Structure formats: C-alpha cells, structure tokens
Structure 1
Amino acid sequence: MIRASLFLAAAILGVATVHATDTDNYTHSIEQWRTGRIERLTAPDGWLSLIGLEWLQPGANRVGSAADNDIVLQAGPAHLGVVTLAADGGMRIVLDKDSGATIDGKSVAESVLVDDMHVAADATPTRVVFGSASFYVIDRDGRKGLRVKDSDAQAREHFLGIDAFPVDPSWRIEATWVPAQPGETLEMGSVIGTIDKFPVPGKLEFTRDGKHFEILPVIEEPGDAQYFIVFADRTSGKETYGAARFLYIDPPKDGKVVLDFNKAYNPPCAFTAFATCPLAPPENRLDLRVTAGEKNYRGSQH
C-alpha cells in the first residue's frame, strides 16, 4: 500500500515536472523572440533610426540640412542635392558636388530614384547615403516621401527598452480557421490618412473567458509565409499603444491556427512620429483585455 502510494505520488510529481518544464521552455522561447525583436528594432537601420519623413512636392525639391532648402534634414550636408518629382511620378536626384553622398553605394553625380512600391521583387529602393544618415523614397497612395534614417539617431541612442506583460501560456490560443470567400478584402486606414485594401485569407475564431471572438488576418505581400494581424483591445490607449498592436500567425494546419498574443508587439509609430503605420480596423477591435505582449513605450512623446 505504501509502495503503491509512493508510486502514485511519483507519477503525479512526474506529470507536474513535465508541465513545469513545458512552461519553462515556452517562456524561454518567448523571451528569445523578444530578444530578437529588440535586436531588429535597435539595429543601425531599424525603426529607431528614423529621423524624418519628408513629403516631396511636384518639381524640384532642394534637400539638405541648411534652412534655405525646401526639405530640411536633421542630419547631413548643408546642401545635399535636388530631388525632382515628375508629373508621371518618376524621380531623379542630382547631388551637390560637395555633398560627399553615395547612391546605392556608388559615387555618382545623379541617379533615378526607385521607391519602395516600384522595386523589383527582390530589390530594395534606391538608397542615398550621407555620413551616418541615409534616405530612400516611399510611396503611400501616390504620395512620395523621403524616409530618412540615421544610425546616430537620438531615439536609438536613448532607447528605454520594451515593457511587456508577464509571459502567460494561456494567451497562446488555438483558434479555429474559417476560410474566406474568394476575393475577400479588409480595409485598413493609416496614421497618415490613407486607406489600403488587403486580401483576407480567412477568419480566426476563438474563445476567451467563456466568450466568442473573431479576428481577421491579411496577406501583406503575395507569397508571404505568414499572415498579418492588426488589432486593438480594451487595453489599447491605456496599458498598450492606442492605435493598434501587430501579430503574425502561421497558416492553418488541420483547420487550426496558433494565435499567440504573447508575441503581440507595438507598431513603429509607438516609437517614432516618422512611420506610416496601419490602424486597427473595426473588425479587429476586440471587446477583451488582452493582457499579453508589449505595453506602451515609456519613451513615446507622440
């Protein structure tokens, strides 16, 4: 009888040990993910390096750090050059002879500028580099702007770290996948007032605290390996960033999807005023306190 009791106790303890080990492994995996997240955010050309978003006007735009330019940069030579925006959306830069800048790593006097929406599949937009700073052109709903970065940016040098809710395995939810109808899309606004439509591959349905919830992922780019979710919840604007948080998921397997809110993270706009982040659409505003993932950034001033 005593032996049987000891065996039973050992069995119970064994189950508890396995469960604790699984929880420790899961917590460690989230901590590793957060480490990688911070490394990407704080990289020399990461989101914290942004120092400007300067919209181009039709015609010639004089660019440089001096006050007499049409676009005044926070870093770089007094007169960098002239960016001309043509009526058809084409762009060209002519560098000042004393700028010291390079274009895609080459010391050339002028070049066509290709923006981020018109590059070939595996290419990157034309990058103009001057000292520790650089810029390339972004296209947002037909508007062309210089996205300016500096590896010596104050936001990067004085980064305060990321606050997050404690890792909670209960927020790793197995959701049911409901395939979308062909051609279904989701409209998402942005902080700069644009509205974009994204393909919707399906719907996620899950239960929390006895209540039913639905959320829509989108396909950012054709061929992406993961789906993208932009959501808000009852912590938004309080403990967490008000506009939205982001989350990626793997495609469904056997009609199920892992929805891990411990990996919910802040958009670039939580750290800088120079990003063009999407806003949570009405369909993804959860009547639920998602107490997992990243919290508000302490250093935010916008």
Structure 2
Amino acid sequence: MTITDRTDFAAEWAQWHEERERYYAEPLGWVAITGLHWLSEDFETIADLPGRWRADADAVYVEGIEGTTRLEPVEGAPGLLVEDGRRRIEVIRRTGSVALRVHDPESPQLAAFEGIPAYPPSERWRVEGRFTPYAEPSTVTTGAVVEGLEHHHSAVGVVDFEVDGSTHRLVAFVGKQGGLQVLFTDATSGVTTYPAARSLAVSAPEPDGVVVLDFNRAANLPCSFTDYATCPVAPAENRLGVAVEAGEKNPR
C-alpha cells in the first residue's frame, strides 16, 4: 500500500466516523430519546404525553388528540411519528407489542453527548474474506436487548476469513444496495465494546465470492447509546473468539 493509499484509508475512515457522530447527534435522533413506554389494551395516560393511548393486535388508538386517532405501526419497521411540540412520539410495534418512544431535542443525554469513542483505524483490520451463499435464504431468529422481544433476519450465506492465521466464520444477512450485513460479538465485547452486538456492513461479493471486511467500521447499534432501543443481539454463530480491536467502542 502506497503512502497515498494509506492517507486515503485514514481520511475515508475519518469521514465515516464524522458522519456516524453527526447521525447520533441529531436533535430528534437516538440519543435524544427520553422514554420507552409499552401500551396495553386499555386507554391510559402515558408519562407526560398528550391524550390517552391503547393498542391491540391491529392498531394504536390515541384519545384526545383531534378526537380519537388510529395508527397502524408495522412490525419491525421504523415507527410512525406524532408531533408533540418540539418532541416527536414514535409509535413502534415489536414482536406483536406496541411502544412509544419519546424523542426530545432537550434530552439531557443529547446535551451530554460527546461523540463515539473508537479504536484508531488500522489496515490490519481490513481483511479479505470469501462469501459462500446458501442454496436459499433462511431465517435466523435472535433475541433483543429488551427481554421477550425477537428479531428475524434473512441469512443468505457465510463469510470465511482469517485473522493472524486463524480462520473464522460469520453468518451474513441481507444488507443494503446488494451488500451484506453481519452482527457479531468478539473478545472485546463487554470489555471495551458494547456487549450485545456490533454491526458491520460488507460490500457486495465479487463474482468469485471475495468480500472485504473492514472491521475499522464495526458500528454500534442504537442500544449502545440509549436504554430505549430494542436492538437485536448477535446470533450465537457470530460470537468470535478473537479480540477485534477495531471499530467503535462502547460509548457508555
């Protein structure tokens, strides 16, 4: 790798890191969440939120905000947003249950946010792997950081790679723009990195299956920043024994 390549590598990582910090510093983003409230089938007042709320298997009903409003959040999808002054009430459905997440630009956690700690980028942790697709996708079910919830992932194959002469394998899920995504833990999890999982985006495989895993971009999930997220944990198959001293560290 030439000096120019090394400079580009560091600069591109720095840009990625800055974009990650900007994303989490958004005034109505993950760090701005101040509560997670689960609804029952009976109308009730929730914290200091307007109106009264209830949910059943079909919808969410809000009484007192322009009469009775009906909302239909989709299982596992980003929530529906209800305005409350400067705040946003996000209505989500997870494993059949419904909850309200409150996003507040005046959140104390947001005011205290100082960025995302990370390991310095190192070319050692940009490794080549090989993707082997399954004959057909399969569903992998994982738990979540909230007890009783489940996440269902579409697994499309496995990625094999080497670190310091030892071989490792990760189950890969469907990613963005034709790429792959892996959720994993490693020997740093619960020590210097978030214990439940980190996420790594992997570019689309080459025709021969070659992929690049840049662990310098191993990313925290929202649950590492807030107690009010419902993120998945890593599947048992993706618990690496090696210490991946790269990527984002535990911000709390």
Verify: 1:250 aligned to 2:219, yes or no: no
The one-letter amino acid paired with 2:154 is: P
* TM-score when normalising by structure 2: 0.92
Deviation at 1:215, TM superposition (A): 0.5
Verify: 1:144 aligned to 2:113, yes or no: no
Q: Using the alignment, how far apart are the partners of 2:117 and 2:23 within structure 1? A: 16
Q: Which of the two has greater strand per residue?
A: 2
The one-letter amino acid paired with 1:51 is: T
Deviation at 1:72, TM superposition (A): 1.0
Q: Using the alignment, how far apart are the partners of 2:192 and 2:90 within structure 1? A: 34
Deviation at 1:227, TM superposition (A): 2.5
Verify: 1:268 aligned to 2:226, yes or no: no
**CA offsets per residue over residues 257-276 of structure 1, 9 Å max, x none?**
11110001111111111001
Verify: 1:239 aligned to 2:192, yes or no: yes
Matched residue, 1:216: 171
Deviation at 1:156, TM superposition (A): 0.9
Deviation at 1:184, TM superposition (A): 2.1
Specify whether residues 211 and 277 from structure 1 end up closer, same or farther in structure 2 by C-alpha distance, changes over 3 A only: same
Equivalence map 1:76-91=2 (5 Å)? 80-86=50-56, 88-91=57-60
Deviation at 1:159, TM superposition (A): 0.4
Specify whether residues 33 and 85 from structure 1 end up closer, same or farther in structure 2 by C-alpha distance, changes over 3 A only: same
Larger Cα Rg: Structure 1 or Structure 2?
1
Question: SS of the counterpart of 1:237?
Answer: coil
Q: Using the alignment, how far apart are the partners of 2:84 and 2:150 within structure 1? A: 33
Verify: 1:57 aligned to 2:11, yes or no: no
Q: Using the alignment, how far apart are the partners of 1:127 and 1:253 within structure 2? A: 39
Verify: 1:200 aligned to 2:200, yes or no: no
Matched residue, 2:29: 46
The one-letter amino acid paired with 2:122 is: D
Could you tell me which runs of 5 or more consecutive residues in structure 2 were left unpaired when the two chains were aligned: none
Specify whether residues 287 and 125 from structure 1 end up closer, same or farther in structure 2 by C-alpha distance, changes over 3 A only: closer
* TM-score when normalising by structure 1: 0.78
Could you tell me which runs of 5 or more consecutive residues in structure 1 were left unpaired when the two chains were aligned: 1-17, 63-70, 97-107
Question: SS of the counterpart of 1:200?
Answer: strand
The one-letter amino acid paired with 2:93 is: D
Specify whether residues 246 and 118 from structure 1 end up closer, same or farther in structure 2 by C-alpha distance, changes over 3 A only: closer
**CA offsets per residue over residues 87-121 of structure 1, 9 Å max, x none?**
x432221235xxxxxxxxxxx444211214388xx
Verify: 1:35 aligned to 2:18, yes or no: yes
RMSD across aligned C-alpha pairs, in angstroms?
1.9
Q: Using the alignment, how far apart are the partners of 1:198 and 1:206 within structure 2? A: 22
Query: Which of 72, 78, 81 is the equivalent residue of 1:114?
Result: 72
Verify the 8 A CA contact 1:116 1:137 in the aligned structure 2: no
Matched residue, 1:135: 89
The one-letter amino acid paired with 1:250 is: S
Deviation at 1:27, TM superposition (A): 0.7
Verify the 8 A CA contact 2:143 2:232 in the aligned structure 1: yes
Deviation at 1:284, TM superposition (A): 0.5
Question: SS of the counterpart of 1:180?
Answer: strand
- Divergent runs of 4+, >4 A: none
Verify the 8 A CA contact 1:113 1:125 in the aligned structure 2: no
The one-letter amino acid paired with 2:59 is: G
**CA offsets per residue over residues 46-69 of structure 1, 9 Å max, x none?**
11011111000112122xxxxxxx
Matched residue, 2:180: 227
Deviation at 1:198, TM superposition (A): 1.4
**CA offsets per residue over residues 26-57 of structure 1, 9 Å max, x none?**
11000000111111111122110111110001
Specify whether residues 289 and 126 from structure 1 end up closer, same or farther in structure 2 by C-alpha distance, changes over 3 A only: closer
Q: Using the alignment, how far apart are the partners of 2:84 and 2:138 within structure 1? A: 44
Verify: 1:179 aligned to 2:153, yes or no: no
Specify whether residues 173 and 118 from structure 1 end up closer, same or farther in structure 2 by C-alpha distance, changes over 3 A only: closer
The one-letter amino acid paired with 1:72 is: A
The one-letter amino acid paired with 2:63 is: V
